[in-house]
Amino acid sequence: MEPTTHAFPENARKALSDERLQKVLAIAPAGFVNRRKQAADRLPEFEALRDQGRDLKNHVLANLDTYLEAFESKVTEQGGHVHWCRTDQEARDAILGICRAANAKTVTKGKSMVSEEIGINDYLEANGLTPIETDLGEYIIQLRHEPPSHIIAPAFHLSKKDVEGTFRQAHTDLPPDRVLDDPKVLIAEARTVLRRKFQQADVGITGANLMIAETGSTVIVTNEGNGDLTQILPRVHVVIASIEKIVPTLEDAALVLRLLARSATGQEASAYTTFSTGPRRPGDLDGPEEFHVVLLDNGRSALLGTEFQEVLRCIRCGACMNHCPVYGAVGGHAYGWVYPGPIGSVIQPALLGVKEAGHLPNASTFCGRCEAVCPMRIPLPKMMRHWREKEFEEGLQPAAMRKGLGLWAWFARRPALYHAATRMAIRALGALGRGKGRFAALPLAQGWTKHRDMPAPEGKTFQQMWAEQKGKR
Amino acid sequence: MAEKRPAPRVGLFVTCLVDLFRPTVGFAAVKLLEDAGCTVEVPSAQTCCGQPAFNSGDRKTAQELARNTIAAFEGFDYVVVPSGSCGGQIKKHYPELLAEDPAWAARAQHLSARTYELVSFLADVLGVTDTGARYDGTITYHDSCSGLRELGVKEQPRRLLASVEGLTLNELPGAEVCCGFGGTFCVKYPDVSNRMVEAKTADIKGTQADTLLAGDMGCLLNMAGKLKREGSAIRVRHVAEVLAGVTDTPPIGEKG
Ligand code: SF4
C-alpha cells in the first residue's frame, strides 16, 4: 500500500468533511473506552499487571536474539520452518515461495497487521494467487478495496448500512430482496460465503499476537473463530509475525493475553485463543501438513538501543487509538498507512521515515490519554516528541514555525528584554482588542482565528503590574 | 498550618499566558497563597518555562530556558504555578531534560520536588479546605490534560470549589478529554483542533452551566475563543479567579 502519510493535513480535512465517517466516529470509540474501563475496574491487579507486562517486554527486548533463536529451534524440532526476513520484500518472497511450493491457488488469511505492513494480498494477487480475508472486518474491507482503519477493528470506519451495501454488491448470487438489517444476519451471510472458501484454500496465513520461545508456539486471538479454520483446514499454515512478538514462556503469554483482551475489547479473554505448535503430528485428528513462521524485522531491530526501543513493547491492542482525540476526529485512514493512532504516530516514522510520516508525531496535543491506558506503559507522547526532535535536527519543520519559536526563545533567554518587549506588545494588542474583548481575525494568527476568536489580553503584563504594585505594598 | 511555623516562602511562576493575557489569574494566585499564610514573591528573572521549544523538538533551547527558570527560583520553599501544563514541564520534564547535565541535574530535581500546580498545592500541601469565596452561578469544570495526567489534579479543584458559596457544579461529560489546544498543535492542525474544541463546547453547553472553569490558560483561551465564535454567553474563567473571589475583571474574551 502506497503511504499517503505525508498528506495527513489533507487526509484529515477530507475525513472531517465526510459526514458518514463522522457519524461513525461520534459513537464507536466510546464503546471501546467504556468496555476497557469496566474490564480494568473489575480486575484489582490490573495496574500491577501493566507493570509486569512492561517489565516482561523490557526483558525480552534486552534478550531478543536469545529468545528468537530458542523459538526457532523449538519450531524446527517440531517439524516446522522459520524464515528470517529483514525486509518486507523478503517476507513477501518467502510467503510466495511457500505458496508456490505447495502449488497453491487459493490462500485464506486471518487478520494480521504485519501482513498489511508487507502488502501481501496485492503481491499474491499480482502473482496469480487468490487471497481471501476471513476475519469479518477484513473481509468487508477487502470487498471494498480499502485498507483497515483500526488495528483490531479493520472496518471501524463503516456503519452497518455501509456493510449491507457492500454485501449486496458483492454477493450477487444471493436473492436481492433478502433482509440484511441485523448485524447477526450480516455475519451469517459472510460465514456462508466464507465457508466455501475455507474448503478451497491450499494455504492459510495468520498473524501472531504472540510467539512463545519455550514451546515454539504461535498464538492468535480472535472473536470469530475464523483464525482456527484458516490454520487448520489448509495443507499449509504460514504465520507472519514481527520479531518483537516473542515472549519466553507460556506463563508470560498468559500475562500478555490478560492485558490484551481487556485493553482491546474489555473482554476477560477473547472468544478464541489459539495456540499453534508445529505441523500435524502422527495421530493428530487435524492440522496442517506444513507449518511455517515468517519472522519479520523490517526496521524493528534498528530501534533497539535507541530512544524508540520501548515502542517495541506494543501488543497492538488498539487502546491508544480508541482513547485518542485526534484519531477520534479523523479516523484511521487519515494516517495514510497501516498503523493509525498514537502507536502509528510513533512507528510509522520508524517504518516509513520522518520525511513521509513526519506529520503524525506533530499531530498530537500530547494530552497523554494514550499513555494512560497503554497496557505496556509505552510513553507514546515522549516518543512522538523524540520524532519531533529528529525533525528539528534535520530542519524539516515549517520555516515560519521555526522562526517564530526561535524569536520567542531569543527573548525568553533575556528576561529584561523579554519583559520590556512583551509589555509593549501586550499594550498594543490590549488597546486593539479593548472594544470587544476579543479578535475575530489577527494577522499571523490565522491558524487560530480561522475557527475561533482570540481573547484579547487585559492590556498590561502581570510582571508590569506586579512591579507597579510593589511600590505600593 | 500549625500556628507558629514561619510562613512558607513561595515563588510564583506566572507562566507566559497569565503574564501576557490574564494578569488577573496571577493576582488571584497571589491572594490565594497569601490568604493561606504564604509569603509570595515573583522573581523578575523568569520568562517562559520552555515547553513550546521542548514540544517542538528544540531540546537545546528547552534546556537553556529550564536552566534560566531553575536559577530564577532557587531558594524558595515552594514554587507554585497556576497551570498544570507549565507546572508539569518543570516538575516532570526538567529532570528528564537535564538528566545528563552534571552541573544541573540535581538542581533540576530539587526544583521539581518543590514545584506544585496552584490548586493542588493549596489543597494537598497547605491543606486549604475553604477559600472563603462566593460565586453566584452554575459552573462546569474541564480537566486540563497535563494537570490531570502528569500531576494528578482532579478532585482538588472540585473539593475547593465545593466550598465556594453560591456555586453549583454541573460535571462536564468527557471532562478528561483534550480540548484540542495542544500549544502549537492548534495552529499547525487547525481543522483537527477545531473538531476537538467543537466537541468540547457542545459538551459544555450541554451542562447548562453559565460559567466554564479550568486551570490552564491555554485551554481556556481555546475554549473561550470557540464559545465566543459560536456566540455563546457562557463565561470563561480560570479556576483561581473564582476560588479567590477575584471576578471583577471581565470573563476571558469579553469586553470590560
Ligand atoms: S501502543 Fe500500547 S495502547 Fe497502543 S496498541 Fe500498542 S500496546 Fe496497545
Which pLDDT score is estimated for A198? 86
Q: Which cell goes with A45?
A: 491487579
CB A186 within 8 A of CB A165: no
C-alpha B147: how far from chain center:
8
Going from the N-terminus, what domains does chain A have, and what CATH number goes with each?
A: 43-301 (3.40.50.10420), 410-470 (no CATH)
Cβ–ligand 1 distance for A388 under 6 Å, the answer no
Comparing CA positions, the residue from B162, B179, B164 lying closest to residue B85 is B179
Out of B14, B187, B228, the one facing A447 most closely (by C-beta) is B187
Comparing CA positions, the residue from A357, A423, A351, A322 lying closest to residue A40 is A322
Q: Do A369 and B180 touch (CB under 8 A)?
A: no
Out of A16, A368, A437, the one facing B195 most closely (by C-beta) is A16
Which pLDDT score is estimated for A397? 80
Mean pLDDT of A226-237: 90
> Is pLDDT larger for residue B230 or for residue B5?
B230
Mean pLDDT of A126-152: 94
Mean pLDDT of A232-249: 96
The pLDDT tens digits for A430-444 are 888 888 899 998 876
d(C-alpha A253, C-alpha A258), whole Å: 9
Q: Find the A210 Cα to ligand 1 centroid distance in Å.
A: 14
Cβ–ligand 1 distance for A343 under 6 Å, the answer yes
Comparing CA positions, the residue from A384, A383, A370 lying closest to residue A36 is A370
C-alpha B106: how far from chain center:
25
CB A190 within 8 A of CB A206: no
Which pLDDT score is estimated for A197? 85
A136-143 and A183-200 helices cross at what angle (nearest 10)? 80
Q: Find the A294 Cα to ligand 1 centroid distance in Å.
A: 23
Out of B56, B199, B229, the one facing A452 most closely (by C-beta) is B229
CA separation, residue A450 to residues A84, A180, A325, A353, B225 (Å)? 51, 43, 20, 31, 11
Q: Which cell goes with A327?
A: 484519531
Which pLDDT score is estimated for B4? 61
Residue B196, phi-psi category: left (phi > 0), alpha (psi -120 to 50), beta (remainder): alpha
Q: To which H or E segment does residue B213 belong?
A: strand B211-214
Cβ–ligand 1 distance for A315 under 6 Å, the answer yes
Which pLDDT score is estimated for A471? 67
- What CATH number was assigned to the domain covering residues B130-244? 3.40.50.11810
Mean pLDDT of A38-52: 97
3-state secondary structure of B177: coil
B134 CB within 8 Å of a chain A CB: no
Q: To which H or E segment does residue B9 belong?
A: strand B9-12
Cβ–ligand 1 distance for A374 under 6 Å, the answer yes
Out of A325, A406, A455, the one facing B177 most closely (by C-beta) is A325
Q: Exposed/middle/buried for A103, CB within 10 Å: 0-12, 13-18, 19+?
A: exposed
Q: Would you say how long chain B is, in residues?
A: 256
Q: How many CA atoms lie within 13 A of B189 on its CB side?
A: 29
pLDDT tops 80 at residue A473: no
d(C-alpha A119, C-alpha A98), whole Å: 16
CA separation, residue B93 to residues A306, B64, B78 (Å)? 19, 13, 17
Q: Which of residues 405-424 of A touch B (CB under 8 A)?
A: 405-406, 408-409, 411-413, 415-416, 418-419, 422
Mean pLDDT of A34-50: 97
CB A451 within 8 A of CB B189: no
Same topology between domain B9-124 and domain B130-244: yes
Cβ–ligand 1 distance for A320 under 6 Å, the answer yes
The pLDDT tens digits for A268-316 are 999 999 999 999 999 999 999 999 999 999 999 999 999 999 999 999 9
Percentage of chain A lying above the pLDDT 70 cut? 99
The pLDDT tens digits for B22-38 are 999 999 999 999 999 99
The pLDDT tens digits for B138-150 are 999 999 999 999 9
CB atoms within 10 A of CB A232: 17
Nearest ligand 1 atom to the CA of A342 is 4
The minimum CA-CA distance between B198 and chain A, rounded to whole Å, is 9
CA separation, residue B196 to residues A255, A340, A446, B177 (Å)? 35, 18, 18, 9
pTM: 0.95
Buried b (16+ CB within 10 A) or exposed e, A430-439: beebeeebbb
d(C-alpha A153, C-alpha A239), whole Å: 20
Q: Which of residues 298-337 of A touch B (CB under 8 A)?
A: 325-326, 329-330
Strand bridging mode A217-222 / A210-212: antiparallel
Q: How many CA atoms lie within 13 A of B134 on its CB side?
A: 2
Mean pLDDT of A310-329: 97
User: What does B81-103 look like in DSSP terms, one character per residue?
Assistant: ES-HHHHHIIIIIHHHHTTT-TT
B9 CB within 8 Å of a chain A CB: no
d(C-alpha A52, C-alpha A63), whole Å: 17
Residue of B nearest to A366 (CA): B182
3-state secondary structure of B200: helix
Biggest CA–CA distance in chain A, Å, is: 95
pLDDT tops 60 at residue B1: no
d(C-alpha A469, C-alpha A451), whole Å: 38
Confidence of residue A119 (pLDDT cuts 50, 70, 90): very high
**Spans of all domains in chain B:** 9-124, 130-244
A397 CB within 8 Å of a chain B CB: yes
pLDDT tops 70 at residue B3: no
d(C-alpha A47, C-alpha A58), whole Å: 17
Q: State the average pLDDT for chain A.
A: 94
B46 CB within 8 Å of a chain A CB: yes
CB B220 within 8 A of CB B15: no
Q: To which H or E segment does residue B133 belong?
A: none
| Amino acid identity, position B149 | R
Which pLDDT score is estimated for B120? 98
d(C-alpha A130, C-alpha A134), whole Å: 13
3-state secondary structure of B127: coil
Cβ–ligand 1 distance for A247 under 6 Å, the answer no
pLDDT tops 60 at residue A102: yes
Q: What is the DSSP letter of B57?
A: T
A64-77 and A46-62 helices cross at what angle (nearest 10)? 90
A369 CB within 8 Å of a chain B CB: yes
Q: Which of residues 83-122 of B touch A (CB under 8 A)?
A: none
pLDDT tops 70 at residue B2: no
The pLDDT tens digits for B205-223 are 999 999 999 999 999 999 9
Residue of B nearest to A436 (CA): B255
Q: Do A461 and B20 touch (CB under 8 A)?
A: yes
- At B136, give phi and psi (nearest 5°): -90, 100
- What CATH number was assigned to the domain covering residues B9-124? 3.40.50
Out of B22, B190, B192, the one facing A458 most closely (by C-beta) is B22
> Is pLDDT larger for residue B112 or for residue A229?
B112
Which pLDDT score is estimated for A403? 85
Comparing CA positions, the residue from A283, A276, A287, A285 lying closest to residue A234 is A287
Cβ–ligand 1 distance for A212 under 6 Å, the answer no
pLDDT tops 90 at residue A52: yes
| Interface contacts A/B by beta carbons within 8 Å | 214
User: Looking at ligand 1, which residue's alpha carbon is closest to its atom 4?
Assistant: A320
Residue A298, phi-psi category: left (phi > 0), alpha (psi -120 to 50), beta (remainder): left
B58 CB within 8 Å of a chain A CB: yes
Please list every residue in chain B whose beta carbon sits closer than 8 Å to the beta carbon of residue A9: 189, 191
A27 CB within 8 Å of a chain B CB: no
Q: Find the A393 Cα to ligand 1 centroid distance in Å.
A: 27
The minimum CA-CA distance between B194 and chain A, rounded to whole Å, is 6
Which pLDDT score is estimated for A472? 67
The pLDDT tens digits for A171-223 are 999 999 999 988 899 999 998 999 888 888 999 999 999 999 999 999 999 98
A391 CB within 8 Å of a chain B CB: yes
B50 CB within 8 Å of a chain A CB: yes
